[in-house]
Amino acid sequence: MRVFNTSLRFAVLGFALCLQSLMAQAEDLLVVSSGGFAQAFIELSDPYLKSNPDVRIDFQRGPSMGDTANAIPKRLERGERVDVVIMVGSSLDELMDQGKLLKGSKVVLARSLIGVAVKAGAPKPDISTKEALIKTLLAAKSIAYSDSASGEYLSRELFPRLGIANELKDKARKIPAVPVGEIVASGKAEIGFQQYSELLPIEGIDIVGKISPDVQKETLFSAAIVANSSHIEAAKKLLSYLGSSAVQPIVRKTGLDSIDGR
């Protein structure tokens, strides 16, 4: 019986060491994405993980800019361990220039346009032209916009260019860290503006559409590897997949446009 117990202990120890070795070989990637590409990443990651069982992904969301604690620049500034970031290209370029991202690792993933939403069942306003948008904005009782790229464009560029910034200052507000669609769905804002892909998954709203080309601003979403990542080769493989032609149908399904126009 003593020999049996000793053999059993050695077998259990061998299995534990084998399991520990396999776990050590697995690549654990922490990916942080801003909201515009988040749904696309969620849908793309499942088939990727099935084809790459040696990889595990911890996926988290964080804005491309802003002062909230989970904003990607703030997280990297604090030295948080992150392997891959997916965010607005201009903000990504700033982090690259600061040396926080691996030089040459940037991959452009998708094009994104600004959309408009109202509470489900509410009348859909006219946003088909610049003139129609001006009338809609002036008539709205309350307006919500994001604290990221689309909101920065609206508040800093578009509203002043339309000549209505003063008229909107008391009824248009920036929404930090919460999807604009949720604010609209709750009735806290009559009309909301955000990247179309960020509005699409939200329940309780009706999407009016994308603002017209004469006032629209395209945003590019890109990915890059964090400079101090311990899983650079695994991260490169993931980025190659995310930027490949094969995944473009899924990217488009989530409300984004392909880089190559397909």
Percent of the chain with pLDDT over 90: 84
* Range(s) within the chain of domains with CATH label 3.40.190.10: 2-111+220-253, 114-210
The pLDDT of 57-69, averaged and rounded, is: 92
166 C-beta neighbours (distance < 10 Å), count: 9
- Name the one residue in this structure whose structure tokens are 């960020």: 198
Q: What are phi and psi of 106, to 5 degrees?
A: -65, 135
- CATH, domain range 114-210: 3.40.190.10
User: How far is the C-alpha of 213 from the C-alpha of 252, rounded, in Å?
Assistant: 19
Q: Is the pLDDT of residue 33 over 90?
A: yes
- Give pLDDT, residue 259: 82
pLDDT of 77 higher than 50: yes
CA distances (Å), origin 198, targets 100, 130, 154, 178, 189: 26, 23, 16, 11, 16
Flag whether pLDDT at 261 surpasses 50. Answer: yes
How far apart CA 168 and CA 160 sit, in angstroms, is 10
| One-letter identity of residue 232 | I
What does the pLDDT average to over 50-72? 93
pLDDT at 10: 45
In this prediction, residues 20-28 reach a mean pLDDT of 57
**Phi and psi, residue 137, nearest 5°:** -65, -40
Which of 18-32, 84-98, 116-130 is predicted with the least confidence, judged by mean pLDDT?
A: 18-32
As a residue count, the chain comes to 262
Topology (CATH level 3) of domain 2-111+220-253: D-Maltodextrin-Binding Protein; domain 2 (3.40.190)
Note the pLDDT tens digit of each residue in 207-252: 999 999 999 999 999 999 999 999 999 999 999 999 999 999 999 9
Beta strands 107-112 and 27-33 are unpaired
- Would you state the pLDDT for residue 51? 95
* Of 35, 73, 33, 260, the residue nearest 150 (C-alpha): 35
Helix axes 35-51, 232-242, angle to 10 degrees: 110
Bridge partners of residue 219, in order along the sequence: 112
Rounded CA-CA distance 231/28 in Å is: 8
